[in-house]
């Protein structure tokens, strides 16, 4: 497989922090940036400098911290925003404007051509100061594609190194985003970034579909945190790139670690069934599944847990089979006879059907009864 031509821009420190109720401290941002860098993320969006002096100082500190990753920050197409960004010594300034007629009507109240002309002045201004520029279209997914093509081509002429397409409200499906990205790149063949939100649950899938269509820079957040329903999850995108895109340069073994770090700092913990990082991502209860996994894990695990720093778990419950029980009992030093296995399985199923978890202590209690000969009473 020929690897896709992509890079990752993680926006946890900016868009992730826009999750309602989330605010990272200076030290927390530095710790997240360092781990993203160690994983191999190429670009880290460190913040929005014009928001506050503290934000500006943090962005500057990350930019000057000696990371291998390039550091980016956000700016509206306004002189004060761009100047604040330039003060931070970042590698990339991301200048954005809203481009859909809906947004232009309610936010700018002037013709879109005038909005674009003003923004192009800021792109040129930032580029003239020696910084790389990403020119971003907010709500691009609800924007006239012809206007986007014109914006991107003119942006490149004014010095933009990257052009960005934001599905700001999670409006598109994977098939739709593949089609529109393909259409845009055919008319504006520049390095295109993709920024997807998860309002319909498609953020990671849309990001991968856009990459397959030729998008270059893929935006993510750790655990998918972000505005409303969040953004494309770093862990899902990186694993999909490994399994589907031939990309093997990222250290996926750190994904559980960075997930736990960001969960602790944000106070937002992933669902149990969250892919890659959820508590149940590599947990199995079905006796049929466990019996097959004991023969070959690939039967029911497409993603090996060790690849992403995870660990396989066998869970006891009403669907547990004898093979799974014998495997777990053997790990605790018990070799069960047929009669003993039937009795323990009966206890497990009875307990789980009463909506009680079959914990390690509960299992050990059943096994102790077996050892003591208590099952015949």
Whole-number pLDDT of residue 101: 94
Q: How far apart are CA 9 and CA 62, in angstroms?
A: 15
CB 49 within 8 A of CB 85: yes
> What's the pLDDT at 82?
98
Q: How many other CB atoms are found less than 10 A from the CB of residue 81?
A: 22
List residues bridging with 164 in a β-sheet. 136, 193
- Do 208 and 148 lie in one domain? The reply is yes
- Residue after which a domain boundary falls, among 235, 266, 297: 266
Please list the residues that pair with 196 across neighbouring strands: 167
Task: Return contacts of 73-78, CB within 8 angstroms, 24+ apart.
Answer: 73/14, 73/45, 73/46, 73/47, 73/48, 73/49, 74/14, 74/45, 74/47, 74/48, 74/49, 75/48, 75/49, 75/50, 75/122, 75/126, 76/50, 77/118, 77/119, 77/122, 77/123, 78/122
Residue 247 lies in a domain: yes
Asked if residue 119 belongs to a domain, the reply is: yes
254 and 295 in a single domain? The answer is: no
28: domain CATH number?
3.20.20.70
Q: Are residues 217 and 116 in the same domain?
A: yes
CB 101 within 8 A of CB 144: yes
Same domain, 260 and 322: no
Q: Which two tokens stand for residue 121?
A: 């002045």
Q: Which of 237, 266, 295 is the last residue of a domain?
A: 266
Q: What is the pLDDT of residue 374?
A: 60
Q: Are residues 142 and 232 in the same domain?
A: yes
* Residue at 2 is within a domain: no
At 57 the pLDDT is: 97
Nearest-angstrom CA–CA distance, 34 and 173: 33
Residue 277 belongs to some domain of the structure: no
Same domain for 44 and 121, yes or no, is yes
367 falls within a domain: yes
Task: Give dist(CA 47, CA 198) in Å, integer.
Answer: 21
The answer to whether residue 300 sits within a structural domain is yes
The Cα 84–Cα 98 span in angstroms is 20
Identify the pLDDT of residue 377: 37
Smallest CA-to-CA distance from 152 within 169, 177, 125, 134 is with: 134
| 111 conformational bin, left if phi > 0, alpha if psi -120 to 50, beta if neither | beta
Of 233, 266, 299, the last residue of a domain is 266
Domain count, the chain: 2
Instruction: Cite the beta strand spans of 11-146 per DSSP E.
Output: 43-45, 70-76, 92-98, 132-138
With respect to residue 274, please indicate whether it lies within any of the assigned structural domains: no
**Is residue 18 in a domain?**
yes
φ and ψ of 251, to 5 deg: -85, 90
Which ranges of the chain have pLDDT less than 50?
376-377
Which residues sit opposite 92 in a β-bridge?
72, 132
- Of 12, 30, 10, give the one whose Cα is nearest residue 22: 12
- Report DSSP letters for 175-227, one per residue: HHHHHHHHHHHHHS-S-EEEEEB-TTS-HHHHHHHHHHHT--EEEEBGGG--S
152 and 291 fall within a common domain: no
Q: Are residues 97 and 223 in the same domain?
A: yes
Beta-sheet pairing, 283-284 with 92-98: unpaired
Residues 69 and 121 in one domain: yes
Beta strands 313-314 and 132-138, pairing class: unpaired
Let me know the angle formed at the C-alpha of 81 by 79 and 87, rounded to the nearest 5 degrees.
100
Please give the residue range of the domain that contains residue 350.
283-376
Please indicate, yes or no, whether residues 85 and 212 belong to a single structural domain of this protein.
Answer: yes
Q: Are residues 188 and 233 in the same domain?
A: yes
Contact residues for 179 (Cβ-Cβ < 8 A; gap 6+): 213
Residues 182 and 287 in one domain: no
Question: Given the structure tokens 């990272």, which residue do they identify?
Answer: 24
CA-CA distance, 358 to 373, in Å (whole number)?
Answer: 21
């Amino acid at each position: 497989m020929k690897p896709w031509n992509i890079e990752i821009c993680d926006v946890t420190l900016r868009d992730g922090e826009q999750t309602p109720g989330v605010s990272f401290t200076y030290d927390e941002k530095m710790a997240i940036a360092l781990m993203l860098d160690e994983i191999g993320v190429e670009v880290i969006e460190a913040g929005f400098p014009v928001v506050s002096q503290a934000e500006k100082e943090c962005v500057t500190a990350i930019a000057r911290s000696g990371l291998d990753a390039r550091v980016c920050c956000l700016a509206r197409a306004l002189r004060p925003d761009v100047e604040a960004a330039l003060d931070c010594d970042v590698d990339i300034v991301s200048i954005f404007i809203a481009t859909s007629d809906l947004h232009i009507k309610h936010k700018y109240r002037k013709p879109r051509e005038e909005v674009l002309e003003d923004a192009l002045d800021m792109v040129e201004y930032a580029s003239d100061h020696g910084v790389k520029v990403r020119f971003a279209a907010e709500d691009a997914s609800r924007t006239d594609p012809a206007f986007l093509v014109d914006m991107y081509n003119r942006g490149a002429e004014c010095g933009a190194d990257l052009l960005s397409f934001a599905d700001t409200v999670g409006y598109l499906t994977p098939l739709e985003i593949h089609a529109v990205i393909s259409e845009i790149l055919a008319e504006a063949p520049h390095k295109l970034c993709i920024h997807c939100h998860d309002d319909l649950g498609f953020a990671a899938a849309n990001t991968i579909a856009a990459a397959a269509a030729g998008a270059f820079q893929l935006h993510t957040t750790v655990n998918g945190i972000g505005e409303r329903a969040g953004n494309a999850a770093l862990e899902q995108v990186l694993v999909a790139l490994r399994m589907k895109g031939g990309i093997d340069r990222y250290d996926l073994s750190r994904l559980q670690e960075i997930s736990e770090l960001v969960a602790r700092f944000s106070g937002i913990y992933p669902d149990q069934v969250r892919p890659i990082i959820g508590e149940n991502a590599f947990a199995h209860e079905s006796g049929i599944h466990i019996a097959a996994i004991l023969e070959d894990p690939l039967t029911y695990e497409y993603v090996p847990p060790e690849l992403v720093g995870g660990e396989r778990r066998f869970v006891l419950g009403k669907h547990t089979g004898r093979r799974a029980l014998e495997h777990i009992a053997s790990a605790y030093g018990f070799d069960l006879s047929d009669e003993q296995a039937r009795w323990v399985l009966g206890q497990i199923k009875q307990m789980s059907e009463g909506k009680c978890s079959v914990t390690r202590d509960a299992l050990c209690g059943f096994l102790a009864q077996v050892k003591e000969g208590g099952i015949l009473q």
